[in-house]
Chain A
Amino acid sequence: MSDRIFGGFGLLLAVFYIWAASTIKDSFMVDVVGPRAFPYIVGTILGLCSLYFIIRPDDEPDWPHMREFAEIFFAAAVMFAYCVALPEFGFLISTVFATAYLTWRLGTLPLWSLLTGVLTSAGIYIVFHLILGLHLAEGPLGF
């Protein structure tokens, strides 16, 4: 069933892709094939494969339970929040909390998670910013 749903999504994606390809505007430069031909080919392959998934689905994969789904969902949400927080609060502060969340969810005790977060954040800041000179996000306090 999963493969059929996946195939359905794939088919929608293929139709959307081909439609989007058909809206590509020509520019003043032209070549024989034009900018739409290759995307059409790609879209067609996407569509054909998706049809195959619908007709001949594989065995059901091991889907996790709701709890693990929630786990993945919240982890992704924290990562997205981290991306938003980076320019607002800077690298050091944002990283402490993002790391603490992830290590907590992987089984560290809450208080130790915060400590792991602080150590990871400081460690990465020292190695990558202070020693190697990489550009990290700066917050209002300058780090």
Chain B
Amino acid sequence: METLSLLADGFSVALTPQNLFLAIMGCFLGTLMGALPGLGPANGVAILIPIAFSLGLGPTPSLILLVSVYYGAMYGGRISSILLNIPGDEPAMMTCLDGYPMAQQGKAGEALSLSGVASFVGAFVATCGLVVLAPQLVKIALLFGPAEYFVLFTVAFATLGGISSTNQAKSAFAAALGLGIAMIGSDSQTGSQRFTFDHIHLYDGIDFLIAIVGLFALSEVFIFLEHHRGGAAGSSAATKVGRIMPDFGMIKRCIPSMARGTGLGFFSGVLPGAGASLGSFLAYSLEKQTVDRDGKTFGTGDPRGVAAPEAGNNAASGGALVPMLALGVPGSGTTAVLLAVLLQLNITPGPLLFTKNPDIVWGLIAALFIANFILLAMNIPLVGIFTRVLMVPTRILMPIVAMISFVGIYSITGSSFDVMLMVGFGLAGWVLRKLDVSLVPVILGILLGNQMEVNLRRAMTISDGDWLTLVGSPLAIILWIIAITGFVLPMMLGRRMKNKMEAARNEEEFVGD
């Protein structure tokens, strides 16, 4: 009951005209960004953070804007999967398998509206799950001391590579790189200058926004330059949608698929190291095994093969918010970017957020519900607008992305040194991506590095320098076991999982890149 009244308060925060307007804008921009190949949810939110911040919006309105972008991008990812067989973002990969064949049979409109409904179901149920689960997790998190927090951060890094990671050393290297960058600047505990080499620009450390925008958005621009991919993603023929209104009979038949996809997706969202890509993959595979054991209809345009992964991917993106809000530990790239939003607004997520700033948490959750309805409304009748975006050639689009990144960083820092630093991060991001080093642990390291160190040092101060305090409580030992399992398991299973995911993708000819 208490939760419901808090949620009602949240709605009163989110339903002010300004916040409602921001939610609509966010949903629109998010769907746009999700639909465009090369601009996923993480990039989209990353570019908009500095802009939302320099607009001087308060914490709740900025959050509402940016989480609407996040949900919108998750919805939008499916559009180019279905129409062009090119996933708009990674989690939308599985939607290609049955969505594109449907489009080729002239049922693009049905596929789009069905997947819109499936996205809605997945995201809506997951947001309800967030309401129920997050306060419970907060109760556990309140038992955490500094030592447990330190181990919890270790869990986040150890599991971030995910079950499909093939080289855990690269994930660990990326995490250490991020943590190392976070150490630059004056030490929060004693004030000593660290790694600044008497360079005045480095005294305050490196702003994580510079790193995020550089590593995510600019490195993408470099990838496009490298491949000379300047053309439009879609032609006008390919983006013809046809009948848009959903076929209710078809939707009814897909309800069980959506339910299964949602459940699986939500759990992979909540678990550390899984995330939306795995959520949609599991949802699709399970669905195939349940309803199409002989492999007759899946892959040839079965609507259930569209509904399940879309529900799974959107449910996972809601589920991923549970550990991010309740523990302050994100489990995926996009939630890491949302953590950056909170940190930029001087809000430290975690159990204290729920007790100290209930208006922010519940306003945010209410905004998610509202965003869902807006997105459903936007995505079914208006899907034609978004498909037209696919006709904008990337040779015009990517420079705009680059320039908006520059504008954002310049407007918050006002220094051309910082903007150069961003270009440097963009180049480094390109090299790391070439070497198959994931960028998410780097970002997470930069974001969490200082907190991780502070917790370690607090734990040490409490125990008077006894390192055994890190394994001093049952909770800490359990967390260590999770961390070690999460790190070691992919070494055995990683290659198999990755091959499976790739095999599923290549079953039919994949005309993406």
List A residues at the B interface (Cβ < 8 Å): 2-3, 6, 10, 17, 20-21, 24-27, 29-35, 37-39, 42-43, 45-46, 49-50, 52-53, 58, 61-64, 68, 71-72, 75-76, 79-80, 82-84, 86-87, 91, 95, 98-99, 102-103, 105-108, 116, 120-121, 124, 128, 132-137
Contacts and interface: CB of A to CB of B under 8 A. Distances in A.
Contacts of B407: 91, 124, 128, 134, 136
Nearest to B180: A42
B435 A2 contact: yes
B71 interface: no
A38 B456 contact: yes
B189 A106 contact: no
19 contacts: A17-B195, A27-B192, A31-B457, A38-B457, A43-B180, A46-B180, A61-B434, A64-B226, A68-B227, A83-B419, A83-B420, A86-B410, A102-B399, A103-B395, A103-B399, A107-B395, A120-B399, A134-B54, A137-B410
A4 B299 CA distance: 40
Contacts, number: 197
B414 interface: yes
A135 B187 CA distance: 31
Nearest to B463: A32
B403 A124 contact: yes
A113 B180 CA distance: 40
Given A58-B436, A108-B395, A134-B54, A102 B221 contact: yes
A35 B194 contact: yes
B18 interface: no
Interface string B458-501: 00110011000000000000000000000000000000000000
Contact of B403 (A17, A27, A120): A120
Contacts of B226: 64, 68, 71-72
A98 B407 CA distance: 13
Interface stretch (B171-179, B261-269, B303-311): B171-179
Contacts of B175: 45
User: Nearest 4 CB-CB pairs, A to B?
Assistant: A107-B230, A106-B395, A106-B230, A49-B173
B410 A31 contact: no
Given A32-B460, A35-B192, A61-B434, A42 B231 contact: no
Nearest to B410: A137
Contact of B173 (A24, A33, A39, A46): A46
Contacts of B218: 79
Contacts of B400: 99, 120, 124
A34 B448 CA distance: 19
Given A79-B423, A86-B410, A136-B410, A72 B194 contact: no
Given A49-B172, A75-B222, A132-B55, A32 B399 contact: no
Contacts of B192: 24-27, 35
Given A124-B404, A136-B411, 6 more contacts: A17-B180, A34-B190, A61-B435, A76-B222, A79-B218, A105-B225
A142 to B, nearest CB: 16
Contacts of A17: 180, 195
B394 A76 contact: no
B427 A76 contact: yes
A63 B225 contact: no
Contact of A106 (B176, B197, B228): B228
A139 to B, nearest CB: 13
Interface string B90-116: 000000000000000000000000000
B225 A72 contact: yes
A85 B488 CA distance: 49
Interface string B393-421: 01110111011101100110010100110
Interface string B138-182: 000000000000000000000000000011011011011101100
Contact of B230 (A6, A27, A80, A108): A108
Nearest to B398: A106
Given A10-B173, A33-B457, A72-B225, A135 B231 contact: no
A38 to B, nearest CB: 4
Contacts of B231: 107
B224 interface: yes
A106 B180 contact: no
A88 to B, nearest CB: 9
Contacts of A53: 169-170, 173
B450 to A, nearest CB: 10
A49 B173 CA distance: 6
B300 interface: no
A26 to B, nearest CB: 6
B213 interface: no
A70 B427 CA distance: 13
Nearest to B194: A24
A123 B493 CA distance: 49
A98 to B, nearest CB: 7
B430 interface: yes
A45 B423 contact: no
Nearest to A137: B410
B170 A49 contact: yes
